Structures are given as structure tokens and as C-alpha cells.
Chains A and B, each alone.
Chain A
Amino acid sequence: MVKFKKNAVGRNIPTEINGKPVVLFMGVGKYKPTGRKHAPRIASCADYPLDGNKLIPDLKTALIKAGLKDGMTISTHHHFRNGDLVANQIFDIAAELGIKDLVWYPSASFQCQERLTAYLEDGTLNRIEGSMNGPLGRFTTQGKMKGTAVLRSHGGRYQAVQDGEVQIDIAVIAAPTADPFGNANGVTGSSACGLLGFALADSQYADKVIVVTDNLIPFPCIPWQIQGNYVDYVVEMDKIGIPERIISGTTQITKSPDRLYLAELTAKFCDEAGIIRDGFSFQAGAGGTSLSIGNYFGDIMRERGIKARFARAGSNQYLVKMFEEGLVEYILDGQTFDLEGIRSMRENPNHVDTSPFTSYNYHGKGNFAGMVDVVILGATEVDVNFNGNVVTHSDGYLLHGIGGWQNCLFSKTVVMPIPLFRDRIPVIRDEVTTITGPGELIDVIVTERGIAINPRRTDLLEAVKDSDLPIKTIHELKEEAERICGKPQPIEFEDRVVAAIKWVDGTVIDVVWQVKE
């Protein structure tokens, strides 16, 4: 019988998940692990070809050579987003070989990997520890996955590998360009995706590392974003990705008038609060609303003749334009969203590729998430205590992964522009369905019907008190949403935990329950 205990945000958490003991969330910065980092086995050059040629004819041979067997943990990265052609092949091969109970450890999953549910059903896969989007999320929430899913942030993924919480047996790193030694990058080749930062931990800590490329070049592959010294095998393939799905040729600013209004109001808030000043830094995602917030920031900077020291990205054409105009001195890029982003990264040394280690890892000697002056994030729900949810929909189904969301909460000011309700569903609730981030780190909720500032941020409240911004309390916003939509009825769950939500330090902040259907 699994026991449950309440964690620091009042959620009931099982003391054991997937047969491993659980550390309960204790509060921000409270859990301090002891001990040393995990380390992969010591390798010897004696076991690798001196001429540096690690080429293996095909992926199947490479997986067999890597010792693929039941119960292993296999990792992949998501820099190819919805254009990935490699992850599915790994499990096709595993199924063909009759391997069972694998754990897939992607940095995120996409629609193109939906068909892996078949392997979850036939036992090839035991579970996924990564993001659970769309149909995979539905499948998981319906309780159909054998093991319990584990969701981590980008930083938390690095932390889990570094701390040995997750031990990757085989990492398969799809690389747009690589040499036979295993040096690899994402800036060139037909599957160019910009950078390979999400695969860094995998390369450093996995027992076996396979680099797969469709653009093999002679040594040296420069830049070597992934270093061949970590790599066991290199496989050349015809095609590892579908370029138009890897990057969108055109990330676009929203045309929705409601979202544009939200974006404008958010930018205005940041301006009135004194955040936009010479030398500031910001992070805005690549969603339609975030893109237009970035653009409004650009307008403000231009008008005032100031510039940002750096922008944390998700790079895209709009940010690159601001960068090349001189409004932003550095782009610290975590993933590149369009062709302009890739071009800029290739051409400009101040457009820097970063990894979850430099940007987000909580078990390091600092990271730069906390240095960002303002970050713009989304949420599916926020509650009256400012706790946020990004993983489940209000009806209880897993909707998407955590991404860098939890890590970004450490920014100096966290602003969430969200509509007060979506369809009929209020976004501000008494309690969020799943706590993904604690309210103490979430500062401002901007809705089209008013802005709520976390009472902890007396400085922000003071800064905007004489402005004409529509400042309200979070309770007022919640009441307004319920006046319009009505109060949602509670959802019913089964007695089974289907997913664990990890906090950035590896503790469990919440779990997702199977939805009653």
C-alpha cells in the first residue's frame, strides 16, 4: 500500500513513485541535497578507434552495440520539435527486438511521437518521463500508462541527470551536422535547429551516446556544440528531421485583437513599473502574445533610446530584428524557433547558444534565470494564492510539459499575461488543478479585465499605484471571471496517480490523478 503525505503546498503526494522514494516539495530553496554528482563510467581511448571514426552502419546496430535491453532508460532531445524522425525509430527497433519496459526520457514530446502510445500499450515502453502533450497526455491521464509519468522542467531534467535521479542508459542525439568522431551542432545542415543544448546532459552523463546525423562532414565539425569525446557511436541516416516542422519558417505575431490588447497592456505594465530601462534584460517566448510583447518592448526602447543588455530566448525573427537593430546586445538562446534565429546564431557571436546547465540547473553554483529582469510566461490556471499550473487543463487532463517555465519563475519579475477565461473556463481559480509553480514566485497576472499583483511585491504595487493601469486584487479578478462564466463544478478523479510533477530541485510539488470518464 502506497502511503501519502502532504507537501509544503498542501498536496497529497505518494511516498514512492515508480518504485523510487519521493522527496516531498519543502518550499522554494529548502531542499539541499548532499553527496556528489552522478558520474558515468570511466572510458578509455583504448576502446575507441584512434583515427576517430566511430561510424556504425545503422541505428539498430548502434543500439545493439550499446547494449539495449529490458528496463533501460533511453533519452532524446526535442530540438526538432514536431519534425523529429528519430525517436519513433528507436522504439520501432526496440519493439522489433522484443525489448520491454523501456523508459523514454525526452526533453519534450510532440505530436509526431503520438504513435508511441502503441508501445506503451504493448509493453515496449513502461513510461515516459518528459512532457505529455495532446494525445499522449490524454492517454496518460486516462491511466493507460503502466508506469507513472514524471514531468520535469528543462532545468530539472538536467538536475535529475546530474544528480543521478535518472540514469540514462542510452542517449540518442539527433544532430543536423556531425563528424565521424561525434562532434555535432545544430546550426548547419538541412535539419538545422540552431543548437543542441537540451542534449548536453545526455551527452555528459549517459552510459552510451549515439549521435545520429543526415549531414556527416569530415572532422572537425565546428562549432562542436556536442563534443565527440562523450560519444560512443555515430550513425549516418538519409533524413533525421522534416525541416519545415523543425522550425516554422515564420513565427508570427498574433492577429487576435484580444491577445494584442493583452500584450500591449503587459508591456505598458512593465514600462510603468520601471522595469524597462537601459541595460535591462527580458525573456519572452515564441507564442503569438509573447512575440508581440517583445515587439512592444522594442517600440518603448526605440522611443526612449535605450537598449537591453540581453534577451533570453527562444529566438525568432522579431527578436533577431531587434538584436540586429542594436536594441538588444546579446541573445542567450535556449532553442531557436525560426530560420532567422538559426541564421543569426550562425552569423553573430553575440547570439549565444546556451544549455539548461547554464540557464536553469538549480543544483549548480547559480544559473542565469535569476538575472533576468522580467520574464513573460503563460499558464493554464492561476489560483488566488498565485500558484500556477501549466501541465493540466482545468478538466484534469495533461496538456503540456513544463518546459523552462518553472526555471523562469526565478526571474526578478514574473509576469503572466493570460485571458481571464478561455471559452467558458475561468483561468483564475480557488485552487489550481495541478500546482506546477508556487505562488511566492509569481508576481503579476495581466488579464484583459485587470492586473493583479502578488501582495508580496509591495515594490511593484507602489511603483504603479499612481498609473492608470487597471490594478485589481486576484480575488476581484476571480470573482469577475465567475460572474461571467459561472463557477465550474469540481472534477472527479479515480484513485490513481498517473504523473508526478517535479520541482526544479527534484522534489515532488504535485501529482496528476487519473480522470474519471
Chain B
Amino acid sequence: MDKIVTTGNKGKTVRSDCFVTLELTNKGGINIELQSKVGKLFGDSILELCRDVFAFFDIKNANIKIEDSGALPFVLAARFEAAIKMSKQALTLQQNIEIDKEYLLDILPENQNHTKKDRYRRSRLYLPGNSPKFMLNAGIHHSDGIILDLEDSVAHDKKYEAKFLVRNALRQVNFYGAERMVRINQLPKGLDDLNYIVPNHVNLILIPKCESADDIRQINDKITQILESEDKNYPIYLMPIIESALGVVNAYQIATAADNMVALAIGLEDYTADLGTQRTSKGHETFFARSQVVNAARAAKIQPIDSVFSDVSDMDALRDVVLESKSLGFDGMGCIHPRQIGVIHEYYAPNKTEIEKAKRIVWAFDEATKKGLGVVSLGSKMIDPPVVKRAQRTVEMAIDIGKLAKDWKEKENG
């Protein structure tokens, strides 16, 4: 194997990252060559962090080249640590490197919060797990969740180093209230990913290409084991993604496999490939699967979540997709670009007409309750209890997302 390992990214479009070239040696001490876009302002602190990480792993001799495009400390540390551990794996050197040791930066207090099972999950923003520049400002766009992705958006030869970056991002990047999600790799590989994320307060794990309830059990066993060994106890939710014909068939078993299931998502690219067909704009080929997922999720009382829409420039088409998705019964979908978040929130939300109608029903229900009537009626129409319930949910959601004042009843009464 090659003695020299590299981690990170460099190049014209790369920002907020660094490219580390490492050669562990037997003598000569630690030699660092630093080329940094921000060297005049952060050169000293980059060198200090580098020396600290190498000292932590008890490395006394190494040639290190750092090509930095403005990486934050959590990125630098992840790149250094991954390089050290890859070197250790690449050669059986005499140096004593403890591979199980982790160089952990402080975790932000904000990143130790936990989320509610039934919170909104209308939008979840995918962030490639090995690209720091997308992570830094992800939270400002206020998606309900952000997904640090270890799966499809990470190249094969970058899978290992991405785990360190995702781990450090979970500790150090403030996502401003978005639910912190990680998409792990498909099992069995994904089980190892859990070591990097479970101890670091991940809120929710997306399980790609989930096909059976057994996948869920394996993951939950591992989560329990990690939390127990770390003496930690907090909820970690699961959102399996159904992406195959078999997964669609087993949707209900998957949805009901454990208590920490909160949502069932569908991934249509892989699903249509599995069917041997193409995705069309009409979507007839996925209608069954989408309905099945909605039905299974509703039956299991968890949230049905739709796939992503990949044309990031076409907001009108996205709106149509969202409206259709909502009409099928989905509660949310994935976003691959921050610009999609606003449209998704807007159109999954009840519109003006729906809110007005819901208000009238809630109003009628309140009146009927006050008068002690068993039957709710609006005009000449009788309103069934499920209709009332749906109207109450619509009103609640309208209040939550700021489309309706909390005290609308008092306001409209006066």
C-alpha cells in the first residue's frame, strides 16, 4: 500500500475545506507545510490545531502538507484525524497509534437537544457528507431537518473520511433548530456509520434501501449497544427509505418494526430502476408505491414522506409536485437545494381556502360543544367527527407556521 495518504478536497470550486497529504515517518519530527487562503489571519491557529491532533495520537514523526481553502477547525480536525487513521491502516508502522481514540472538539450546547417524535418533517435538506461548504450555512434556510449524507452523495474513496467530517459537524455546526439527521450507508456497511453518529446526538437516522423489519432491528440493536457503552440515553428516531419493490411490499412491517420509527420515506430513483422502468413527469409508474408508503405510514401512525425533486431551477414544477404529493397524503419531501425549502413549506401547508374552511368547522364544533349538541353542523350540512379532527389539525398547522394568529378566535369574535 501507498505510504502517503490524502484526505479532504482541493480545487477551484472547493471552499471551506482543506486537502491534507500525510506521510508517517520514523524520524525527523513533525514537518508541516501550510498553504492557506487565510494564512495571514489563521495560519498560527491552523498549525497549532495540527500539532495538537498529531500529539493527541502520539505521532512524533510525519510530513504533513495542508492545502487550506478556509476550513473551519471542525473540518481541519476531521481531515487530520482521518489521514492519521488511514495511514495507520495503510501500513503497519512501529508508531503507536490508537485507532479507537477519537479527537473530539467540544460539542455545542445547541447540538445536544433532542427532537419530538411528531414534529414537522415537511422538508429535509440533503448535505453531501464530505463537502463542508454546504454544511456551514445550511441551518439559515430553516428546513425542518438537515441530512448529513454518508450514502449516495459521497464518492466511494471518500466514504471513510466523510464519517469524521459528519461526526465533527454533528458536534460543531449550528443548524439553528433543524432536526439533525444522518443518512447512513446501506446495511451492513451502514452499521459502522452508527459508531460515528450515535454518540454525537444525532436526532434521526435515515436508512436507505430499507427492505425489511430486520434492518430496523439490526440498527436499533447497535444503537442501544452504543448508547449503553457510552452511558448515554436519548431518543434517536428512524426514517427508513423505501427504494425497492420488496421494500414497498414490506412497507407496513417496516413502519411498525420499532417504537422509534417516526416516518417512512420513499426514494423513487432507485425504485423505478428496480421496476425496470423510467421516472416520468406523470408518475403513473410510482403511483402504487407512493400510495402504499402513505398507507403503511398512516396505518403505523407515522409520517409518510415523499422523495426529492431534482430540477432545482424549476420552482413551478416543484410546486405542482408538492401539491400532488400533498394530495396523495404525504407530509413532506426531501430537498436537494435550499431554494426548494420555501416552496415545499408553502404548498404542503394548508392554503387560504383550506384554512378558512377549517376555521368555520372548528368554530361550528366549538358552538355545538358549548350548546351541548351531539351533532355539528355547518349551514345545512352535518359534519362528521373525522372532518372536525382534520379541520383542527389544519388550524393547528396554520397557527404553527404563522399563517393564522394563535388567538384567531378572540380576534375574529371581537
A residues with CB within 8 A of B: 257-258, 260-261, 394-396, 422-425, 448-449, 484-486, 488-489, 491, 515
Contact = CB atoms under 8 A, between A and B. Distances in A.
B70 interface: yes
B41 A489 contact: yes
Contact of B140 (A261, A394, A396, A485): A261
24 contacts: A257-B339, A258-B137, A261-B141, A395-B40, A396-B40, A422-B70, A423-B16, A423-B37, A423-B38, A424-B42, A424-B70, A424-B71, A424-B72, A425-B41, A425-B70, A448-B140, A484-B136, A485-B72, A486-B45, A486-B72, A488-B42, A489-B40, A489-B41, A491-B40
Contacts of A260: 339
Contacts of A488: 38, 41-42
B85 interface: no
B15 interface: yes
A261 B70 contact: no
Given A258-B137, A485-B42, A489-B43, 7 more contacts: A258-B338, A395-B41, A423-B16, A423-B70, A424-B42, A484-B72, A484-B174
A257 B343 CA distance: 13
Contacts, number: 57
Sorted from nearest, which 3 A-B pairs have the closest CB atoms?
Answer: A423-B70, A257-B338, A488-B41
Contacts of A396: 40
A258 B140 contact: yes
Contacts of A515: 40
B337 interface: yes
A425 B45 CA distance: 13
A229 B171 CA distance: 70
Contact of A489 (B37, B44, B70, B338): B44
B73 interface: yes
A424 B44 CA distance: 14
Contacts of A484: 72, 136, 174
Given A395-B41, A424-B38, A491-B41, A448 B137 contact: yes
Contact of B141 (A257, A486, A489, A491): A257
B69 interface: yes
Interface string B61-82: 0000000011111000000000
Nearest to B76: A424
Nearest to A260: B339
A393 to B, nearest CB: 9
B403 to A, nearest CB: 14
A73 B71 CA distance: 45
Report whether over half of chain A's contact residues are helix, strand or loop; otherwise say mixed: loop
A486 B42 contact: yes
Nearest to B68: A424
B38 A425 contact: yes
B150 to A, nearest CB: 22
Contacts of A257: 141, 337-339
Given A424-B72, A448-B140, A449-B140, A489 B42 contact: yes
A485 B37 CA distance: 14
B18 to A, nearest CB: 10
Contacts of B70: 422-425
B40 A486 contact: no
Contacts of B141: 257, 261
B307 to A, nearest CB: 21
A491 B37 CA distance: 14
A260 B339 CA distance: 9
Contacts of B43: 489
B16 A424 contact: yes
A425 B37 CA distance: 10
A423 B75 CA distance: 12
Contacts of B16: 423-424
Interface string B31-65: 00000011011111100000000000000000000
Contacts of B140: 258, 261, 448-449
Contacts of B338: 257-258, 261
Nearest to A468: B402
Interface string B366-403: 00000000000000000000000000000000000000
A488 B70 CA distance: 12
A257 to B, nearest CB: 4
Chain A CB within 10 Å, residue with most, of B15, B70, B337? B70
A515 B141 CA distance: 38
Nearest to A423: B70
B41 A394 contact: yes
A423 B16 CA distance: 6
B318 to A, nearest CB: 14
A383 B40 CA distance: 19
A449 B140 CA distance: 7
Contacts of A491: 40-41
A449 B175 CA distance: 11
B56 to A, nearest CB: 19
Nearest to A257: B338
A422 B41 CA distance: 12
Nearest to A424: B70
Nearest to B339: A257
A486 to B, nearest CB: 6
A485 B136 CA distance: 11
A431 to B, nearest CB: 14
Contacts of B37: 423
Interface in B97-155: 136-137, 140-141
B111 to A, nearest CB: 13
Nearest to A480: B174
A504 B41 CA distance: 31
Nearest to B340: A257
B45 A423 contact: no
B73 A486 contact: yes
A11 B37 CA distance: 28
A448 B136 CA distance: 11
Nearest to B69: A423
B271 to A, nearest CB: 28
A489 B45 CA distance: 8
A106 to B, nearest CB: 28
A394 B41 CA distance: 8
A134 to B, nearest CB: 16
